[in-house]
Amino acid sequence: MAPLIHVRDLTRDYRLIKKREGVAGGFVDLLRPRYRDLRAVDSVCFDIEAGEMVGYIGANGAGKSTTIKMLTGILTPTSGKVSVGGLVPWRDRLQYTRHIGVVFGQRTQLWWDLAVIESFRLLRKIYEVPENIYAEQMKVFDDLLGVGEFLHQPVRKLSLGQRMRCDLAAALLHRPRILFLDEPTIGLDVVAKESVRGFLREIRDLQGVTVILTTHDLGDIEQLCRRVIIIDKGEVHFDGELEDLRTRLGRRVRLTVDLREAVTADDLRKVTADLPVTWRDREGKNHVAEFRRAEVSGAEVIRQVVNDCQVSDLHLAEVDIEEIVRDIYRAAGKEKA
């Protein structure tokens, strides 16, 4: 069976004006602008099956939002192919919007001056949602997101967290098969983030919605997505399971030690000379080492350190996915440089 979302060689250029110098140059720019093209998304390919929750991540300006805009039909690509459930988003837009929900965390899709409930009623009309489905969805949103509390407030009076919850509800009102989320937790505090994540998990389990999610918060990814696609300068750099990403890069572990006496990193390098351990260049009582679990066990490293040094405290932690992804961005940048 064909995948629900099929993307091939998706490319999008933006035309930018090449600025000339100075005031005179500004005038010339107005009369005879010179252009250059910026490739924001470059030959992106992936397939997504129904029911998947995929994290689409990358640094600022990597091309995430541009991709989402093409997948939702807001932008037409420069070239390439997208088929979602047999529809082409930018061509079959009217029919397509019935099957998808979209949240752009950076700005609301709701009517600023209307009470939340009015926005929902309008959306119900626009999407022709049957009364019984509308009632069921509203109950789910109240149970899981607590939107009942502020239904009669105008959107402009809501806190960011309340507004985001309403945007999520609005996007799902017509019970779409696919939900596109562009930074749905941006600016939220820890509690509000947890509530959004919990809601997304529930809605996936309850209604089997397929989700593509962009975020800079890797906590979102760790809690929601088994699969991640990493994009850098418009190109896909990794597409696979989050767990795979971890093992591919080796489960890195970081050991922090506090010693009773100041030493140099070189002293510690001698202590663990026969082990594959990297000590950071530091002097003093606090030191940090990194190693891969596959190459050496934490117990072994600790044993050597404790044998040869006066340790007052130590802490072993896995290097989190955020750092791993940062390393990938950096490596990708270097390759191109």
Ligand X SMILES: Nc1ncnc2c1ncn2[C@@H]1O[C@H](COP(=O)(O)OP(=O)(O)OP(=O)(O)O)[C@@H](O)[C@H]1O
Can you give the binding site for Mg ion, defined by CB under 5 A? 64-65
> Which amino acid, 17?
I
Closest to 40 measured CA to CA, from 3, 96, 5, 80: 80
Return the number of the residue (10 or 268) whose C-beta is nearest ligand X: 10
* Residue 151 CB contacts under 8 Å (≥ 6 apart), including other chains: 115, 116, 117, 120
| Minimal distance, residue 82 CB to Mg ion, in Å | 18
Q: Which does 227 bind (CB under 5 to 8 A by kind): ligand X, Mg ion, none?
A: none
Residue 60 interaction partner, one of ligand X, Mg ion, none, beta carbon < 5-8 Å per kind? ligand X
Coil/strand/helix, residue 232? strand
Contact 76, 59 (CB under 8 A): no
Q: Which is nearer to ligand X, 17 or 135 (CB)?
A: 17
- Count Cα neighbours of 237 within 13 Å in the Cβ-side half-sphere: 23
**Is the Cβ of residue 106 or residue 247 nearer to Mg ion in the bound state?**
106
Q: By C-beta, is 106 or 286 nearer to ligand X?
A: 106
- Distance from C-alpha of 317 to C-alpha of 275, rounded to nearest angstrom: 18
Q: How far apart are CA 201 and CA 224, in angstroms?
A: 7
- Mention every residue, 6+ apart, whose C-beta is less than 8 A from residue 311: 257, 258, 259, 260, 305
Select 40 or 328, whichever has its Cβ closest to ligand X: 40
Binding site for ligand X (CB under 6 A): 14, 16, 38, 40, 58, 60-66
> Minimum Å distance from CB 178 to ligand X?
19
CB of 317 to Mg ion, least distance (A): 30
Pick what 240 binds: Mg ion, ligand X, none; C-beta below 5 to 8 Å, kind-dependent. none
Q: Helical H runs in 18-128?
A: 22-31, 64-71, 93-97, 116-127
Q: Considering the complex, what minimum distance in angstroms separates the CB of residue 69 from ligand X?
A: 8
Partner from ligand X, Mg ion, none contacting 2, C-beta within 5 to 8 A by type: none
14 binds, among Mg ion, ligand X, none (CB under 5 to 8 A by kind): ligand X
Single-letter amino acid code for the residue at 141: F
